[in-house]
Amino acid sequence: MSTEISPLAPKSYPDMPVIEGVRFATAAAGIKYKGRTDVLLVLMDEGTEVAGVFTRSLCPSAPVDWCRANLAHGKARALLVNSGNANAFTGKKGKAAVELSAEIVSKAVGCAAPEIYLASTGVIGEPLPAEKFAGVIDGLVSQAATGSWLETAKAIMTTDTFPKVSTRTVDLGGVAVTLNGIAKGAGMIAPDMATMLSFLFTDAPIAASVLQALVSEAVGGSFNAITVDSDTSTSDTALLFATGKAASRGAPMISDIEDPRLAGFRVALGDVMLELAQHIVRDGEGARKFVEVRVEGATSDVSAKRIALSIANSPLVKTAIAGEDANWGRVVMAVGKAGEPADRDRLAIWFGDVRVAVEGERDPGYSEAAASAVMKQQDIVIRVNLGLGEGTSRVWTCDLTKAYVEINGDYRS
Amino acid sequence: MSTEISPLAPKSYPDMPVIEGVRFATAAAGIKYKGRTDVLLVLMDEGTEVAGVFTRSLCPSAPVDWCRANLAHGKARALLVNSGNANAFTGKKGKAAVELSAEIVSKAVGCAAPEIYLASTGVIGEPLPAEKFAGVIDGLVSQAATGSWLETAKAIMTTDTFPKVSTRTVDLGGVAVTLNGIAKGAGMIAPDMATMLSFLFTDAPIAASVLQALVSEAVGGSFNAITVDSDTSTSDTALLFATGKAASRGAPMISDIEDPRLAGFRVALGDVMLELAQHIVRDGEGARKFVEVRVEGATSDVSAKRIALSIANSPLVKTAIAGEDANWGRVVMAVGKAGEPADRDRLAIWFGDVRVAVEGERDPGYSEAAASAVMKQQDIVIRVNLGLGEGTSRVWTCDLTKAYVEINGDYRS
C-alpha cells in the first residue's frame, strides 16, 4: 500500500480553535497491532447535546446500532473511537463488545452508559477485544485536554494519506460560536479499514432535536454527495456534538429549527461538512483527479442527483478521467443508464467551460484540443444540462486509477 | 490496448451447422478505417420471423430505435452490422443515417425497408457516413453464402479477444431444428466500441410473437445476468431470427407460446444465450477470473438478483478477487448496500465450497488456507444465503484488474 500523500491534498490546514467543553486524548490499546495509536477518547462536559447520521447499509456494525439507539435521548458525555477492528458482522459478540466498551468508559467518566458514543473501523467479522480498553481508559480520562485537533484527526486516519479538518466561527444571537470538524475515510468505504467517520463539535447551545434536523439537512449535499467507488461501509458515522458552553458568554439556547438566529450556523455546518466530504474524495484511494459532476435541467433535484451519481460512479467515466480522455460518449452512456427522464436530443455536456455536445449531437464548435486541455487539469468539472426542467444536483468523485486496484487488490495481505 | 487472448477464453469452438435460409458476407466499407472489415450483411429468406431485446438505456442509439419500431411487424429479410461508428447521440442525422442504410439494403435485397435490421458499434456522437454502404452492399448481396459462423463472429469483434459462438440442435415436433448464436462484447459496455451485440438464427418455424416471448423470458437469466463494469451501452441489441425452413422437413409451425413441443427449443435458447453471455464475461476487459455469484434465501427472486448484482458490481469485491483475497467482509458490505431485506445474523457466505461466515459471525471452522486456495482458481463461485425466504438468483462477472483501467483509460487515444 502506498504511503505517499495524495496529490490532491490541501496545501495547508486551518488553525482549529479550542471548543469549550471538549477535551481529548489518544492511546495504544493493542486492538490489532502493538504500539500503534488505535484509540481516541473525546470527553464532553455535562449538558452536551448530540445528533447523528449513519450508513444506509442494512448490515450496519454493532457501534452504529448502539449510537442510533442512544440518539433518542440526545445526551452525550464521551466518544470512543478505535481502529483495527470494525466490530461489524460480529453478531451477539459484537453487541456484547459495545456494551462492555460503553460500561468501561461510563465508569471512568462517571456518567450513564447510553451517554457514550462509539465508532470502530478496521477488520470485519472478528470479535472486538473490548476488554483491552479497560487498560487505557482511566489514563485517557486523566490526560484528556484541549489539545491539537490536527493531531486528533491524524490519530483516526487509517488508509488516509492526510488528516481532514475544517472549522468555522459564526455569529449566534450576537455571540461568536465555533464549529470544528474532523473526518477520516479514503474509499467511500472499504470494510476493512476505510470507513467514513466524521465528528463535529460546537460550543453553541443547540438542542439535540435541532442538531438532528440540521445534520440531516446538510448530509444530502455533503457526505451523501460524494463517491469514491460506489461502495457503502457498514460503519459510516457522522456525529455532531454541542457542548452549549457559549451560553456562558451570552449565546442564546436554540430549541427551534425555524429560529432565524440559526442562519449563520446552518451555513457553517453545511460548509464544514462539505469541506470534510471533499477532503475524503481528494484522499480517494488512488485518486489523481478531483471531479465535480453538475447536473442541471432535470425533472427534479432527486432525478438530477441520481443522474449525477450514475456519472460519478461509472467505471468507464472514471477511467476516462484517469486517462485524461475527453470521452463525453461515456457521459451520455451514464446519463442513459441512470433510469431517469432524459432526452438525447436536448442533452448538452461541458468539460470545464468547453461545451462538447449540444442538442443530441457533437457541438459544432467542438475542439478536441480545448477539451483535452481541461482533462489535463487536477480539478475537473463535468456539467450536464438535460433541458427538461429545473432539477439540479452536484456530486463529487475522483478518477479510477491502477493505484485503486492495487490498493484494494492487495489490501488484506 | 492488449491484443492478448483472454486467459478465460474457451479451449475450443463447436462446429456450427448451416442454418437453412441464412447467408452472410462481410466487407470493408471504410466507415472509420480503410481496409478493415467493418460490415456484416446477413440475408434471410422470405418468411423469416424476428424478435429482439435491447438496451434499457434511455438514450438509445438510432439503430436501436429503428429495430424496436420494426419489431412490431416481426418480419425480417436482412441484418446489417457495422463497426467503427455507433450512430448514437447523433440526433436527426442519426435517424437519417439509419433510414438511408435501410433503403440501400432494401433496394439491393428487393424487400421493404422495415424488413432490414441494423446494429452499429463504434464511436459515439459522430455522424455515421451511411452513404459508404452504397459502395459495398450489392457485392455483399451477390457474395452472401452459408459460410463459416466462426469467421462471421470474428468479423463483428471489436475489443473482443476471441469470437463468441454457441449452437444447439433440438427436436421440434419430431424434426431436428438448429439454433446458432454469435455475440460480441467485452465491457458490459464501452460506448466507443464494446457494446454487446448478439444475433441468433434458427430454421425452426416459430411465429414472431412466440419468438418475442421466448427471448424476453431467456434474457433475464442470461444477457441481463452478466456484468463486467456495471455500465450499460446505448446500443446493446439481441435479435432472434427464425427462417422457418425446417417446415419443409416436417417441423410444425409454432404460434402459441404454450405449445408443449417448444420445450426443447426453449431450453436450447436459454442455453445458447447463457453461453454467449458467459463468453462476454470471460472476455471482460482485463478479466483474469470468471465469477459466479449465487444468492439464495432472499425474500424474492427479484431481491436475490439485486443483491447478486450489488456483489457482482462492487469494485471492492472485484479488486479483492483480482488480488486472490478471500475478503468476505466486502461481500457483507455489498449485501448491506443493496437496499434489500437482509439480516446480518442470518447471513452465510461461501467461497467455492468453503463456508467463511455463518449466523452473523466468521465461521467457527474458518480456514484462511482453504479460502485462499479457492481464490487462486480461475473460476470462482461466491454463494450467499440470506436465510430469509426462497428467492434465488445467479449472475456472472469478472474481476477488476489494472488491465481494465489501462484498456479504458487509454481507449480513445
Residues of chain B with pLDDT > 70, as a percent, come to: 96
Residue B267 sits at the chain A interface (C-beta within 8 Å): no
- pLDDT band, residue A389 (cuts 50/70/90): very high
- The answer to the question of residue B8 being in a domain is no
Question: What does pLDDT average to over chain B?
Answer: 91
- Is A234 in Cβ contact with B125 (below 8 Å)? no
Phi/psi for B44 (5° steps) reads: -130, 140
Task: Select the more confidently predicted residue: A395 or B126.
Answer: A395
Residue A387 sits at the chain B interface (C-beta within 8 Å): no
Residue A376 sits at the chain B interface (C-beta within 8 Å): no
Q: Is the pLDDT of residue A63 over 50?
A: yes
- The answer to the question of residue B16 being in a domain is no
- pLDDT band, residue A36 (cuts 50/70/90): confident
The answer to whether the beta carbons of residues A384 and A331 sit under 8 Å apart is yes
Task: Note the pLDDT tens digit of each residue in A195-217.
Answer: 789 999 999 999 999 999 999 99
Q: Domain boundary residue among B220, B250, B282?
A: B282
Which residue among A336, A347, A402 sits closest to B402, beta carbon to beta carbon? A402
What pLDDT was estimated at residue A192? 46
What pLDDT was estimated at residue B362? 86
Do B203 and B59 lie in a common domain? Answer: yes
What pLDDT was estimated at residue A404? 85
- Is B413 in Cβ contact with A323 (below 8 Å)? yes
Q: Is the pLDDT of residue B280 over 60?
A: yes
Residue A409 sits at the chain B interface (C-beta within 8 Å): yes
What pLDDT was estimated at residue A1? 42
Query: How far B153 CA sits from the closest chain A CA (Å)?
Result: 25
Residue B36 sits at the chain A interface (C-beta within 8 Å): no
- The answer to the question of residue B10 being in a domain is no
What pLDDT was estimated at residue B359? 86
What pLDDT was estimated at residue A173? 96
What pLDDT was estimated at residue B173? 96
Catalytic residue annotation of A: 195
Return the beta strands (E) in B8-161 as ranges: 22-27, 39-44, 49-54, 78-82, 116-120
Task: Select the more confidently predicted residue: A261 or B194.
Answer: A261
Task: Note the pLDDT tens digit of each residue in B342-353.
Answer: 888 899 999 999
- The answer to the question of residue A12 being in a domain is no
Q: Is the pLDDT of residue B192 over 50?
A: no
Do A39 and A174 lie in a common domain? Answer: yes
ipTM of the complex: 0.79
Instruction: For residue A377, give its domain range.
Output: 290-409
Nearest Cα to A92, choosing from A65, A112, A54? A65
- Is A329 in Cβ contact with B88 (below 8 Å)? yes
Residue B341 sits at the chain A interface (C-beta within 8 Å): yes
- The answer to the question of residue B1 being in a domain is no
Task: Select the more confidently predicted residue: B110 or B190.
Answer: B110
Residues 217-256 of B with CB under 8 A from A: 229-234
- The answer to the question of residue A10 being in a domain is no
CA A11/CA A280 separation, integer angstroms: 15
**Mean per-residue pLDDT, B328-355:** 90
**Mean per-residue pLDDT, A340-367:** 90
Do A106 and A126 lie in a common domain? Answer: yes
CA B351/CA B357 separation, integer angstroms: 10
Q: Is the pLDDT of residue A24 over 60?
A: yes
Do A157 and A228 lie in a common domain? Answer: yes
Do B81 and B169 lie in a common domain? Answer: yes
Do B196 and B229 lie in a common domain? Answer: yes
- Pick from A230-239, A288-297, B323-332, B376-385: least confident: A230-239
CATH no. for residue A272?
A: 3.60.70.12
Residues of chain A with pLDDT > 70, as a percent, come to: 96
CA B178/CA B269 separation, integer angstroms: 10
- pLDDT band, residue A413 (cuts 50/70/90): very low
Q: β-strands A116-120, A175-184: how paired? A: unpaired
- The answer to the question of residue B4 being in a domain is no
Count of domains for chain A = 2
CATH no. for residue B380?
A: 3.10.20.340
Q: Domain boundary residue among A265, A282, A299?
A: A282
* Preferred mutation among B32, B57, B85 to probe A, highest tally of A CBs within 10 A: B57
Torsion sign (Cα): A360, A365, A369, A375: negative
- Contacts of residue B235, defined as CB under 8 A and 6 or more positions apart, other chains included, come to B55, B60, B61, B63, B64, B86, B88, B119, B120, B121, B191, B195, B197
- The answer to the question of residue A6 being in a domain is no
Q: How many CB atoms lie within 10 A of CB A18?
A: 14
The single-letter code of the amino acid at B191 is: P
What pLDDT was estimated at residue A291? 96
Chain A residues closer than 8 Å to B409 by CB: 319-320, 322-323, 325, 401
Closest residue in B to A363 (Cα–Cα): B125
- pLDDT band, residue A187 (cuts 50/70/90): low
- pLDDT band, residue B187 (cuts 50/70/90): low
Residues of chain A with pLDDT > 90, as a percent, come to: 72
- Is A316 in Cβ contact with B189 (below 8 Å)? yes
- Is B319 in Cβ contact with A405 (below 8 Å)? yes
Residue A61 sits at the chain B interface (C-beta within 8 Å): no
Do A340 and A230 lie in a common domain? Answer: no
What pLDDT was estimated at residue B58? 81
How much is the pTM?
0.85
Task: Select the more confidently predicted residue: A36 or B62.
Answer: B62
- Is A191 in Cβ contact with B333 (below 8 Å)? yes
CA A132/CA A101 separation, integer angstroms: 9
Do B296 and B253 lie in a common domain? Answer: no
CA A283/CA A186 separation, integer angstroms: 5
Give the sheet arrangement for strand A354-358, strand by strand: A226-227, A391-398, A290-298, A379-385, A348-351, A354-358, A361-362
What pLDDT was estimated at residue A90? 84
Do B307 and B266 lie in a common domain? Answer: no
- Is B92 in Cβ contact with A229 (below 8 Å)? no
Question: What does pLDDT average to over chain A?
Answer: 91
Q: Domain boundary residue among A230, A262, A282?
A: A282
CA A357/CA A348 separation, integer angstroms: 5
Do B320 and B253 lie in a common domain? Answer: no
Q: Is the pLDDT of residue B229 over 80?
A: no
Do B221 and B312 lie in a common domain? Answer: no
CA B402/CA B382 separation, integer angstroms: 22
Do A37 and A62 lie in a common domain? Answer: yes
